[in-house]
Structure 1
Amino acid sequence: MSSTQRIQQPRRYLMCRPEHFAVSSEINPWMNRGRQPDRARALAQWQALHDTYLRLGHEVELIDPVPGLDDMVYTANAGLVIDGIALGARFAVAERRGEEPHFLDWCAAHGFDVVEPVATQEGEGDLMLVGDTILAGHGFRSVRASHDEVARVFGREVVSLRLVNPTYYHLDTALCVLDEETIAYLPAAFDQPSQDELAVRFPDAIRLPTPAPDALVVNATSDGRHVIIPPDTGHFEAELRERGYLPVPVDVSELHLGGGGIKCCTLELRGGRS
């Protein structure tokens, strides 16, 4: 399929400037308090991502950063928003629980129907919409019981996938939604039953070897035509071009120090009002 046949879908995203970004804890394998980010560089990289979305014709909303909430830049973890319903996150780690009310308040003020969660899940970090189906990760942060809650809230099929590699502790570090039918993923990040499930559901998926050294290669976003990816992804970029997608490299490597990348900084807003 040529790139002219890929259809771009306008997106509306929520982002948060990394004004208070720091590595003050070690709550995932990417974080090391001995490696502090250059905040000015992190801000510049984040701005480049933000501006790329605007250049491609997407809408970007901003939530105000809050002092003391170092990881608020990773807005994808704040919840899941579909059909004007915003299901908040219930973080597994105490260091991020302070973010929860800020996201819910923002959504309520912007016309979304807010739902406070009961079970532990970390938003689009572990919940990814593909067509009418929600792929749901568990194993490190989100609990399996949250998937039943997600299915009730949104009235959609939820497919549970177990993550087994602690480096890829969220679903969005191991899987990328390219369009309503296609994904890219790292098979080795999942247990065998989950690999089998993905192989049956997505026979045309891009399957990538786990990079060495570990990298956030598939922590990416797509509008169905353009795929915003880290630079120097090699095989992934080549596969995308071969499938007719247009890779758009954006470097957010400074934000990788907190365990997040392009997708982590991007929460999709579906429905509601501006």
Structure 2
Amino acid sequence: MTVSISGPGEPITLDIAAPIASAQDLLPVRVPTTRRYLMCPPTYFTVEYAINPWMDPTRPTSTTLAVEQWTALRETYERLGHQVEVIEPVPGLPDMVFSANSGTVIDGRVLGSRFRAAQRSAEADHFRRWFLGAGYKSVVMPTAVNEAEGDFTWTGSLLLAGTGFRTDPHAHGEAQEVLGVPVVSLQLVDPRFYHLDVALFMLDDQSPTPLVAYYPEAFSPGSQQVLRRLFPDAVIANDADAVCLGLNAVSDGKHVVMPLEATNLAEQVARRGFEPVFVDISELRKSGGGPKCCTMELRG
């Protein structure tokens, strides 16, 4: 069978070799849920320092192209029926575009961020003030280093929490107390995948059995065992998927917005009944970011 995938330019068709032999082989019916996102335009985007292996200040960057790619991402969400809120960018904060790093929102409770890198520390207060201005009543700023949805992934029932390069493990306990949800810690071991959201993402957080995709080699052996126990039916990404930041994707339960280079991962999620939607994030990837990095979900 073939599956057509939308994206920039001409539609892409993937050939799924396995035939549908019986009713048991039919693709599951995936139902999207409307989401609300907070994004920040990359008006001042550049790479002027290096705080992860993707960043090289000597490599040319184009703010204009970054804005074009970000705009296409925002328009993709809106075309899929989602609501996008926008925070104003601030001069001198080129990574503010990566809004996922500045807050975790569950049931209307907000846990802000505390960045490890001094270059990004000022971002946290701009987002704190946005939340207060937007009417959020419970906004708590962390005491431990906490890079928010960069290292926190909500499954619908528990919070997966990464550590190893950015977020302090003490932030995991703080998140549990502030957000009132159970937390499972995961150890990251590959510096290329310095945040949880470049190594794992939720495909479906609404079903009784959540479904994730992840790259095992990004995690310690013990964390790999935890993921296998929690998600025995997970989609397993390969190295090619991981190094194009294919796992820095955003799913609404049906549509999976992902980097256009992640074709193997796209084939796998299509086989599970999801619809991949490709976007070009080549310029934003120069800072180590992709669709999810640019997208904070506002839950409740």
Task: Give the TM bin, normalised by the shorter chain.
Answer: over 0.9
Counterpart of 2:186 (choices 145, 161, 165) is 161
- Alignment deviations for residues 50-94 of structure 1 (CA, whole Å, 9 cap, x no partner): 000000000000000000001000000001011111110000110
The equivalent of 1:34 in structure 2 is: 58
1:182-237 Cα deviation digits (max 9, x unpaired): 00000000000000000000001001122288220110000000000111312101
Q: Is the aligned partner of 1:122 residue 2:147? A: yes
1:2 & 1:13 partners in 2: Cα distance? 32
TM-score (norm 1): 0.96
CA distance in 2, matches of 1:91, 1:232: 29
Residue from 215, 227, 243 that aligns with 1:186: 215
Q: What is the aligned partner in structure 1 of residue 250 from structure 2? A: 221
Whether 1:174 and 2:199 are equivalent positions in the alignment is yes
Quote the residue 1:22 is aligned against.
46
Contact 2:244 2:259 in 1 (8 A): no
Match of 1:150 among 165, 175, 192: 175
Tell me the alpha carbon deviations over residues 97-138 of structure 1, each in whole angstroms, 9 at most, x when there is no partner: 010110000001112121111111100000010011000000
Amino acid at match of 2:40: C
Q: 1:132 to 1:117 in 2, by over 3 A?
A: same
Whether contact under 8 Å (1:220, 1:227) holds in the other structure is yes
Cα gap change, 1:34 to 1:11, in 2 (>3 Å): same
- Tell me the alpha carbon deviations over residues 28-62 of structure 1, each in whole angstroms, 9 at most, x when there is no partner: 00000011321111111100000000000000000
Contact 1:37 1:255 in 2 (8 A): no
The unaligned stretches of length 5 or more in structure 2 are: 1-24
Change (3 A) 1:26 1:160: same
- The AA in structure 2 aligned to 1:182 is L
Q: Which one-letter code corresponds to 1:248 in the other structure? A: V
Aligned residues: 271
Q: Which moved more, 1:112-121 or 1:12-21?
A: 112-121
Quote the Cα distance in structure 1 between the aligned partners of 2:149 and 2:190. Answer: 18
Q: Give the structure-2-normalised TM-score.
A: 0.88
What is the distance in 2 between the residues matched to 1:36 and 1:152? 43
Q: Could you tell me the percent identity over the aligned residues?
A: 48
Q: Which residue of 1 aligns with 2:285?
A: 256
Aligned equivalent of 1:66: 90
The CA deviation at 1:4 is 7.1
Q: What is the aligned counterpart of 2:75 among 51, 61, 76?
A: 51
Maintained 8 Å contact 1:179/1:224: yes
Per-residue CA deviations over 1:230-256 (Å, capped at 9, x if unaligned) read 113121010011000000001111000
Q: Is residue 2–residue 243 contact of structure 1 (8 Å, CA) maintained in 2?
A: no
User: Matches of 1:63 and 1:212 in 2, distance apart?
Assistant: 30
**Residues 163, 191 of structure 1: 8 Å contact kept:** yes
- Residue 3 of structure 1 deviates from its aligned partner by 6.2
Which residue does 1:210 correspond to in 2? Answer: 239
The letter of the residue matching 2:274 is: Y
SS in 2 for 1:176: strand
Which of 65, 75, 90 is 2:114 aligned to? 90
Contact 2:198 2:242 in 1 (8 A): no
Could you tell me how far 1:2 is from its partner in structure 2? Answer: 5.6
Give the Å deviation of 1:154: 1.2
RMSD value, Cα? 1.3
> What residue is the counterpart of 2:272 in the other structure?
243
In the aligned structure 2, how far is the partner of 1:212 from the partner of 1:104? 34
Q: Which moved more, 1:113-122 or 1:220-229?
A: 113-122
Q: Does 1:197 align with 2:230?
A: no
Structure 1 residue 152: Cα displacement: 0.5
* Equivalent pair of 1:178/1:222 in contact (CA under 8 Å): yes
Q: For residues 12-34 of structure 1, what are the alpha-carbon distances to aligned partners after superposition, in whole Å with 9 as ceiling and x for unaligned?
A: 00000000001010010000001
Query: Which segments of structure 1 move beyond 3 Å, counting only runs of 4 or more?
Result: 1-4
